[in-house]
Amino acid sequence: MASKSIVVAGGGFAGVWAAAAAARVRQDAGLDENDIRISLISKGPFLEIRPRLYEASPDTMKISLKDILGPAMVEDRICEIVEIETNTSKPKITLKGGETIEADQLVLATGSQLVRPIQKSIKRILFDIDTVDAATQLDDHIKSLANSTQEGQWTVVVVGSGFTGTELATELPSKLRAAGAPEDEFRVVMVERSDAIAPELGATMRPTILDAFDNFNIELKLSSTVESADSNCVLLSNGDVIASQTLVWTAGMRASPLATAIGANVDELGRLRVDRFLAVDGVANTFAAGDVATADADNGHCTLQSCQHAQMLGRFAGYNAATKLVGGEPMAYSQPFYVTCLDLGEYGALLSYGWDRKVVRTGKDAKKIKELINQRLIYPPQNDASALLAAAAPMVREAEDGIQRLLSA
Protein backbone atom coordinates (compact mmCIF):
# COMPACT_ATOMS: atom_id res chain seq x y z
CA MET A 1 0.00 0.00 0.00
CA ALA A 2 1.04 3.60 -0.54
CA SER A 3 2.42 5.24 2.56
CA LYS A 4 -0.26 6.80 4.80
CA SER A 5 -0.15 8.93 7.91
CA ILE A 6 -2.01 9.22 11.20
CA VAL A 7 -1.48 12.30 13.35
CA VAL A 8 -2.54 12.29 16.98
CA ALA A 9 -2.85 15.84 18.32
CA GLY A 10 -2.27 15.82 22.08
CA GLY A 11 0.00 13.93 24.47
CA GLY A 12 -2.40 13.22 27.33
CA PHE A 13 -3.97 9.88 28.21
CA ALA A 14 -6.32 9.90 25.21
CA GLY A 15 -3.55 10.81 22.80
CA VAL A 16 -1.11 8.20 24.10
CA TRP A 17 -3.66 5.40 23.89
CA ALA A 18 -4.89 6.55 20.48
CA ALA A 19 -1.35 6.34 19.13
CA ALA A 20 -0.80 2.95 20.77
CA ALA A 21 -4.07 1.54 19.41
CA ALA A 22 -3.22 2.75 15.91
CA ALA A 23 0.18 1.10 16.18
CA ARG A 24 -1.49 -2.14 17.22
CA VAL A 25 -3.77 -2.08 14.15
CA ARG A 26 -0.73 -1.41 11.97
CA GLN A 27 1.10 -4.39 13.46
CA ASP A 28 -1.91 -6.70 13.23
CA ALA A 29 -2.25 -5.79 9.54
CA GLY A 30 1.35 -6.88 8.93
CA LEU A 31 2.45 -3.32 8.20
CA ASP A 32 5.20 -1.11 9.61
CA GLU A 33 6.11 2.55 9.96
CA ASN A 34 7.01 2.77 6.27
CA ASP A 35 3.42 1.86 5.39
CA ILE A 36 1.61 3.91 8.04
CA ARG A 37 3.46 6.67 9.82
CA ILE A 38 2.00 7.46 13.23
CA SER A 39 2.95 10.78 14.81
CA LEU A 40 1.92 12.23 18.15
CA ILE A 41 2.25 15.99 18.59
CA SER A 42 2.46 17.36 22.10
CA LYS A 43 3.45 20.65 23.73
CA GLY A 44 5.87 18.86 26.03
CA PRO A 45 7.89 15.63 26.16
CA PHE A 46 5.88 14.04 28.98
CA LEU A 47 2.58 12.38 29.68
CA GLU A 48 1.50 14.31 32.76
CA ILE A 49 -0.32 12.22 35.35
CA ARG A 50 -2.98 14.86 36.01
CA PRO A 51 -5.10 12.68 38.33
CA ARG A 52 -2.22 12.75 40.85
CA LEU A 53 -1.29 16.44 40.86
CA TYR A 54 -2.95 17.06 44.22
CA GLU A 55 -0.49 14.65 45.85
CA ALA A 56 2.95 15.31 47.31
CA SER A 57 5.85 15.77 44.86
CA PRO A 58 3.78 16.71 41.78
CA ASP A 59 6.99 17.37 39.85
CA THR A 60 7.45 13.58 39.63
CA MET A 61 4.00 12.92 38.14
CA LYS A 62 5.08 12.57 34.52
CA ILE A 63 6.42 9.95 32.10
CA SER A 64 8.51 10.39 28.97
CA LEU A 65 6.38 10.04 25.85
CA LYS A 66 9.43 8.66 24.05
CA ASP A 67 9.73 5.87 26.63
CA ILE A 68 6.07 4.94 26.12
CA LEU A 69 5.68 5.26 22.36
CA GLY A 70 9.19 5.03 20.94
CA PRO A 71 9.43 1.22 21.18
CA ALA A 72 6.14 0.97 19.25
CA MET A 73 7.59 3.09 16.42
CA VAL A 74 5.39 6.10 17.07
CA GLU A 75 7.07 9.42 16.40
CA ASP A 76 6.65 12.02 19.14
CA ARG A 77 6.84 15.63 17.95
CA ILE A 78 7.32 18.22 20.70
CA CYS A 79 5.71 21.37 19.38
CA GLU A 80 2.67 23.57 19.93
CA ILE A 81 -0.20 23.27 17.48
CA VAL A 82 -1.52 26.69 16.49
CA GLU A 83 -4.18 25.70 13.95
CA ILE A 84 -6.00 22.68 12.57
CA GLU A 85 -7.78 22.90 9.22
CA THR A 86 -10.38 20.25 8.45
CA ASN A 87 -12.19 21.74 5.45
CA THR A 88 -10.26 19.55 2.99
CA SER A 89 -10.06 15.78 2.55
CA LYS A 90 -6.78 15.71 4.45
CA PRO A 91 -6.70 17.53 7.77
CA LYS A 92 -3.81 20.02 7.98
CA ILE A 93 -2.00 20.84 11.22
CA THR A 94 0.02 24.04 11.55
CA LEU A 95 2.76 24.08 14.15
CA LYS A 96 4.27 27.01 15.99
CA GLY A 97 7.01 28.26 13.69
CA GLY A 98 4.95 27.75 10.54
CA GLU A 99 5.50 24.10 9.63
CA THR A 100 2.39 22.35 8.31
CA ILE A 101 1.61 18.63 8.37
CA GLU A 102 -1.08 16.81 6.40
CA ALA A 103 -2.67 13.68 7.80
CA ASP A 104 -4.69 10.96 6.14
CA GLN A 105 -6.37 10.49 9.52
CA LEU A 106 -6.36 12.89 12.48
CA VAL A 107 -7.16 12.05 16.09
CA LEU A 108 -7.82 15.25 18.02
CA ALA A 109 -6.98 14.63 21.69
CA THR A 110 -5.73 18.00 22.93
CA GLY A 111 -7.48 17.69 26.28
CA SER A 112 -9.01 20.28 28.55
CA GLN A 113 -7.84 23.24 30.56
CA LEU A 114 -8.89 25.04 33.68
CA VAL A 115 -11.14 28.06 33.17
CA ARG A 116 -9.48 30.76 35.24
CA PRO A 117 -11.52 33.81 36.27
CA ILE A 118 -10.97 37.06 34.44
CA GLN A 119 -11.42 39.56 37.26
CA LYS A 120 -9.45 42.75 37.69
CA SER A 121 -10.40 42.54 41.36
CA ILE A 122 -8.13 39.49 41.82
CA LYS A 123 -4.74 41.14 42.29
CA ARG A 124 -2.56 38.25 43.38
CA ILE A 125 -1.12 34.92 42.29
CA LEU A 126 -3.95 32.49 41.65
CA PHE A 127 -2.62 28.96 42.05
CA ASP A 128 -4.00 25.82 40.40
CA ILE A 129 -3.03 22.18 39.91
CA ASP A 130 -4.01 21.80 36.25
CA THR A 131 -0.49 20.99 35.04
CA VAL A 132 2.70 19.58 36.56
CA ASP A 133 4.32 23.02 36.45
CA ALA A 134 1.32 24.70 38.11
CA ALA A 135 1.04 22.04 40.83
CA THR A 136 4.77 22.26 41.49
CA GLN A 137 4.50 26.04 41.83
CA LEU A 138 1.79 25.58 44.47
CA ASP A 139 3.83 22.90 46.24
CA ASP A 140 6.89 25.14 46.34
CA HIS A 141 4.78 28.03 47.62
CA ILE A 142 3.36 25.94 50.47
CA LYS A 143 6.88 24.87 51.46
CA SER A 144 7.92 28.55 51.52
CA LEU A 145 5.13 29.58 53.94
CA ALA A 146 7.37 28.79 56.91
CA ASN A 147 9.32 31.94 56.01
CA SER A 148 6.23 34.19 56.03
CA THR A 149 5.24 36.47 58.87
CA GLN A 150 2.01 37.78 57.35
CA GLU A 151 -1.45 37.19 58.77
CA GLY A 152 -3.05 34.15 57.18
CA GLN A 153 0.34 32.49 56.77
CA TRP A 154 -1.10 28.98 57.05
CA THR A 155 -4.56 29.63 55.58
CA VAL A 156 -5.37 28.13 52.17
CA VAL A 157 -8.53 29.07 50.28
CA VAL A 158 -9.66 26.51 47.69
CA VAL A 159 -12.30 27.59 45.16
CA GLY A 160 -14.46 24.80 43.77
CA SER A 161 -15.52 21.61 45.56
CA GLY A 162 -15.57 19.31 42.56
CA PHE A 163 -13.38 16.23 42.19
CA THR A 164 -10.10 18.17 42.00
CA GLY A 165 -10.95 20.69 44.70
CA THR A 166 -12.10 18.03 47.16
CA GLU A 167 -9.02 15.86 46.66
CA LEU A 168 -6.72 18.86 47.06
CA ALA A 169 -8.53 20.21 50.14
CA THR A 170 -8.30 16.89 51.98
CA GLU A 171 -4.62 16.51 51.04
CA LEU A 172 -3.72 20.03 52.20
CA PRO A 173 -3.55 19.24 55.96
CA SER A 174 -0.69 16.81 55.37
CA LYS A 175 1.02 19.24 52.98
CA LEU A 176 0.77 22.07 55.50
CA ARG A 177 2.05 19.93 58.35
CA ALA A 178 5.00 18.84 56.20
CA ALA A 179 5.74 22.52 55.52
CA GLY A 180 5.92 23.23 59.24
CA ALA A 181 2.41 24.43 60.08
CA PRO A 182 1.51 23.93 63.76
CA GLU A 183 -1.49 21.64 64.17
CA ASP A 184 -3.67 24.34 65.72
CA GLU A 185 -2.72 27.12 63.30
CA PHE A 186 -3.38 25.93 59.76
CA ARG A 187 -6.74 26.52 58.13
CA VAL A 188 -8.31 25.19 54.92
CA VAL A 189 -11.34 27.05 53.55
CA MET A 190 -13.47 25.60 50.73
CA VAL A 191 -15.49 28.10 48.66
CA GLU A 192 -18.36 26.67 46.59
CA ARG A 193 -20.89 28.65 44.56
CA SER A 194 -23.54 25.95 44.96
CA ASP A 195 -25.58 25.49 48.13
CA ALA A 196 -24.18 21.95 48.53
CA ILE A 197 -20.67 20.54 48.66
CA ALA A 198 -19.40 18.67 45.57
CA PRO A 199 -22.58 19.24 43.54
CA GLU A 200 -21.53 17.21 40.49
CA LEU A 201 -20.54 14.22 42.62
CA GLY A 202 -24.10 13.75 43.83
CA ALA A 203 -25.94 13.18 47.06
CA THR A 204 -24.78 9.60 47.67
CA MET A 205 -21.14 10.63 48.10
CA ARG A 206 -21.81 13.82 50.06
CA PRO A 207 -22.12 12.37 53.61
CA THR A 208 -18.67 10.76 53.41
CA ILE A 209 -17.12 13.91 51.93
CA LEU A 210 -18.66 16.02 54.69
CA ASP A 211 -17.40 13.59 57.32
CA ALA A 212 -13.88 13.87 55.89
CA PHE A 213 -14.13 17.67 55.88
CA ASP A 214 -15.25 17.60 59.51
CA ASN A 215 -12.36 15.31 60.35
CA PHE A 216 -9.90 17.88 58.97
CA ASN A 217 -11.85 20.92 60.21
CA ILE A 218 -12.13 22.18 56.64
CA GLU A 219 -14.40 25.22 56.62
CA LEU A 220 -17.19 25.38 54.05
CA LYS A 221 -18.34 28.60 52.45
CA LEU A 222 -21.36 27.54 50.40
CA SER A 223 -23.36 29.75 48.01
CA SER A 224 -20.26 31.91 47.79
CA THR A 225 -17.73 33.10 45.24
CA VAL A 226 -14.54 35.15 45.35
CA GLU A 227 -15.43 38.81 45.02
CA SER A 228 -11.86 40.12 45.16
CA ALA A 229 -8.42 39.22 46.46
CA ASP A 230 -5.16 41.00 47.14
CA SER A 231 -1.83 39.94 48.61
CA ASN A 232 -3.25 39.88 52.13
CA CYS A 233 -6.81 38.60 52.02
CA VAL A 234 -9.71 37.12 50.04
CA LEU A 235 -13.13 38.81 50.03
CA LEU A 236 -16.10 36.51 49.41
CA SER A 237 -19.46 37.42 47.93
CA ASN A 238 -21.11 36.73 51.31
CA GLY A 239 -18.99 39.47 52.88
CA ASP A 240 -16.47 37.24 54.64
CA VAL A 241 -12.89 38.48 54.63
CA ILE A 242 -10.27 35.74 54.93
CA ALA A 243 -6.64 36.58 55.67
CA SER A 244 -4.73 34.16 53.43
CA GLN A 245 -1.47 33.85 51.55
CA THR A 246 -2.69 31.02 49.32
CA LEU A 247 -5.65 31.07 46.91
CA VAL A 248 -6.17 28.00 44.71
CA TRP A 249 -8.65 27.84 41.81
CA THR A 250 -10.07 24.43 40.82
CA ALA A 251 -13.50 25.38 39.45
CA GLY A 252 -14.43 24.73 35.85
CA MET A 253 -12.85 22.83 32.96
CA ARG A 254 -13.27 23.41 29.24
CA ALA A 255 -12.10 21.57 26.14
CA SER A 256 -8.98 22.77 24.35
CA PRO A 257 -9.72 25.79 22.11
CA LEU A 258 -8.43 23.77 19.15
CA ALA A 259 -11.63 21.70 19.33
CA THR A 260 -13.92 24.70 18.93
CA ALA A 261 -11.66 26.25 16.28
CA ILE A 262 -12.17 23.50 13.68
CA GLY A 263 -15.73 24.73 13.16
CA ALA A 264 -17.58 21.54 14.06
CA ASN A 265 -20.54 21.04 16.38
CA VAL A 266 -19.57 21.35 20.07
CA ASP A 267 -21.35 21.12 23.42
CA GLU A 268 -21.45 23.65 26.26
CA LEU A 269 -17.94 22.60 27.39
CA GLY A 270 -16.50 23.09 23.91
CA ARG A 271 -16.31 19.32 23.30
CA LEU A 272 -16.74 17.95 19.79
CA ARG A 273 -19.82 15.88 19.09
CA VAL A 274 -18.87 12.52 17.61
CA ASP A 275 -20.66 9.51 16.18
CA ARG A 276 -20.56 6.06 17.74
CA PHE A 277 -17.16 5.40 16.12
CA LEU A 278 -15.80 8.71 17.53
CA ALA A 279 -15.61 10.37 14.12
CA VAL A 280 -16.28 14.11 14.42
CA ASP A 281 -19.70 15.02 13.09
CA GLY A 282 -19.47 16.59 9.66
CA VAL A 283 -15.66 16.56 9.46
CA ALA A 284 -13.81 14.24 7.10
CA ASN A 285 -11.08 11.89 8.36
CA THR A 286 -11.07 13.34 11.87
CA PHE A 287 -11.71 11.55 15.16
CA ALA A 288 -11.86 13.02 18.65
CA ALA A 289 -11.03 11.45 22.01
CA GLY A 290 -10.65 12.37 25.65
CA ASP A 291 -11.67 15.72 27.06
CA VAL A 292 -12.34 17.26 23.63
CA ALA A 293 -15.02 14.68 22.78
CA THR A 294 -18.56 14.19 24.01
CA ALA A 295 -19.73 10.66 23.34
CA ASP A 296 -22.42 8.29 24.53
CA ALA A 297 -20.64 6.03 27.02
CA ASP A 298 -23.65 4.01 28.13
CA ASN A 299 -27.32 4.35 27.18
CA GLY A 300 -27.44 8.14 27.10
CA HIS A 301 -24.81 8.75 29.77
CA CYS A 302 -22.22 11.05 28.22
CA THR A 303 -18.50 10.74 28.79
CA LEU A 304 -16.92 12.94 31.43
CA GLN A 305 -13.70 14.91 31.28
CA SER A 306 -11.80 12.24 33.17
CA CYS A 307 -8.79 9.98 32.83
CA GLN A 308 -11.15 7.01 33.11
CA HIS A 309 -13.00 7.90 29.92
CA ALA A 310 -10.02 9.42 28.11
CA GLN A 311 -8.05 6.18 28.13
CA MET A 312 -10.76 4.12 26.44
CA LEU A 313 -11.89 6.92 24.11
CA GLY A 314 -8.29 7.11 22.92
CA ARG A 315 -8.11 3.39 22.27
CA PHE A 316 -11.31 3.41 20.17
CA ALA A 317 -10.40 6.57 18.24
CA GLY A 318 -6.90 5.36 17.39
CA TYR A 319 -8.17 1.91 16.45
CA ASN A 320 -10.86 3.31 14.15
CA ALA A 321 -8.56 5.86 12.52
CA ALA A 322 -6.03 3.14 11.67
CA THR A 323 -8.69 0.61 10.70
CA LYS A 324 -10.02 3.08 8.15
CA LEU A 325 -6.63 3.06 6.44
CA VAL A 326 -6.22 -0.73 6.36
CA GLY A 327 -9.78 -1.46 5.23
CA GLY A 328 -11.08 -3.12 8.39
CA GLU A 329 -14.33 -2.76 10.31
CA PRO A 330 -14.53 0.04 12.89
CA MET A 331 -15.61 -0.63 16.48
CA ALA A 332 -18.44 1.30 18.10
CA TYR A 333 -17.41 2.96 21.35
CA SER A 334 -19.16 1.94 24.58
CA GLN A 335 -18.02 2.19 28.21
CA PRO A 336 -20.70 0.91 30.60
CA PHE A 337 -18.24 0.29 33.44
CA TYR A 338 -17.97 3.52 35.42
CA VAL A 339 -16.64 4.20 38.91
CA THR A 340 -15.77 7.29 40.92
CA CYS A 341 -12.82 6.90 43.29
CA LEU A 342 -12.22 10.03 45.33
CA ASP A 343 -9.12 10.49 47.48
CA LEU A 344 -9.80 12.03 50.88
CA GLY A 345 -6.26 12.39 52.20
CA GLU A 346 -5.40 10.79 55.52
CA TYR A 347 -9.11 10.11 56.07
CA GLY A 348 -9.04 7.46 53.34
CA ALA A 349 -11.03 7.47 50.12
CA LEU A 350 -14.48 6.92 48.67
CA LEU A 351 -15.37 4.48 45.89
CA SER A 352 -18.74 4.60 44.14
CA TYR A 353 -20.04 2.42 41.35
CA GLY A 354 -22.30 3.21 38.41
CA TRP A 355 -23.85 6.39 37.09
CA ASP A 356 -25.99 6.75 40.22
CA ARG A 357 -22.75 6.58 42.26
CA LYS A 358 -23.65 3.83 44.69
CA VAL A 359 -21.03 3.92 47.47
CA VAL A 360 -19.29 0.52 47.76
CA ARG A 361 -16.11 1.31 49.73
CA THR A 362 -15.01 4.07 52.11
CA GLY A 363 -12.05 4.83 54.36
CA LYS A 364 -8.89 2.72 54.24
CA ASP A 365 -10.43 0.00 52.06
CA ALA A 366 -11.26 2.57 49.39
CA LYS A 367 -7.82 4.14 49.81
CA LYS A 368 -6.13 0.89 48.78
CA ILE A 369 -8.18 0.87 45.57
CA LYS A 370 -7.42 4.56 44.93
CA GLU A 371 -3.70 3.90 45.31
CA LEU A 372 -3.96 0.91 42.94
CA ILE A 373 -5.65 3.11 40.33
CA ASN A 374 -3.35 6.11 40.76
CA GLN A 375 -0.06 4.29 41.14
CA ARG A 376 -0.52 1.36 38.76
CA LEU A 377 -3.62 1.11 36.62
CA ILE A 378 -3.43 4.49 34.90
CA TYR A 379 0.23 4.12 33.95
CA PRO A 380 0.90 2.84 30.42
CA PRO A 381 3.79 0.38 29.93
CA GLN A 382 7.19 2.00 29.30
CA ASN A 383 10.06 0.74 27.13
CA ASP A 384 8.01 -2.32 26.16
CA ALA A 385 6.28 -2.32 22.79
CA SER A 386 4.70 -5.74 23.28
CA ALA A 387 3.09 -4.80 26.59
CA LEU A 388 1.90 -1.44 25.26
CA LEU A 389 0.29 -2.89 22.14
CA ALA A 390 -1.26 -5.75 24.10
CA ALA A 391 -2.93 -3.19 26.38
CA ALA A 392 -4.01 -0.91 23.52
CA ALA A 393 -6.97 -2.88 22.22
CA PRO A 394 -10.34 -1.15 22.63
CA MET A 395 -12.73 -3.20 24.74
CA VAL A 396 -16.19 -2.99 26.21
CA ARG A 397 -16.06 -4.09 29.83
CA GLU A 398 -19.45 -4.81 31.29
CA ALA A 399 -20.27 -2.97 34.48
CA GLU A 400 -20.61 -5.94 36.84
CA ASP A 401 -17.45 -7.59 35.54
CA GLY A 402 -15.53 -4.33 35.88
CA ILE A 403 -16.48 -3.62 39.48
CA GLN A 404 -15.80 -7.20 40.59
CA ARG A 405 -12.34 -7.11 39.02
CA LEU A 406 -11.56 -3.81 40.72
CA LEU A 407 -12.78 -4.88 44.15
CA SER A 408 -10.82 -8.12 44.01
CA ALA A 409 -7.59 -6.60 42.62
Which of 13-22, 101-110, 119-128, 296-305 is predicted least confidently? Answer: 119-128
The pLDDT of residue 74 is 98
pLDDT of residue 379: 98
Closest among 397, 326, 291, 273 to 10, alpha carbons compared: 291
| Structural domains of the chain, ranges and CATH numbers in brackets | 4-113+253-335 (3.50.50.60), 132-249 (3.50.50.60)
Q: pLDDT > 70: what percent of the chain?
A: 100
Asked if the model's pLDDT at residue 268 lies above 80, the reply is yes
**Strand, coil or helix: what is 141?**
helix
- pLDDT level of residue 342 (50, 70, 90 thresholds): very high
pLDDT for residue 397 = 86
Q: Is 80 exceeded by the pLDDT of residue 8? A: yes
Q: Is the pLDDT of residue 138 over 90?
A: yes
Residue ranges of E strands in 326-401: 339-343, 349-353, 358-362
Q: What's the Cα-to-Cα distance from 320 to each of 124, 166, 300, rounded to whole Å?
A: 46, 36, 22
Asked if 272 and 261 count as a contact pair (C-beta separation under 8 A), the reply is no
Query: What band does 142 get if pLDDT is binned at 50, 70 and 90?
Result: very high
Q: What local confidence, expressed as pLDDT, does residue 1 receive? A: 62
pLDDT digits (tens, 9 = 90+) for 222-252: 999 999 999 899 999 999 999 999 999 999 9
Give the predicted TM-score (pTM) of the model.
Answer: 0.96
- pLDDT bucket at 118, cuts 50 / 70 / 90: confident
Contact 314, 109 (CB under 8 A): yes
Query: Helices in 103-179 by DSSP H: which ranges?
Result: 132-144, 163-179
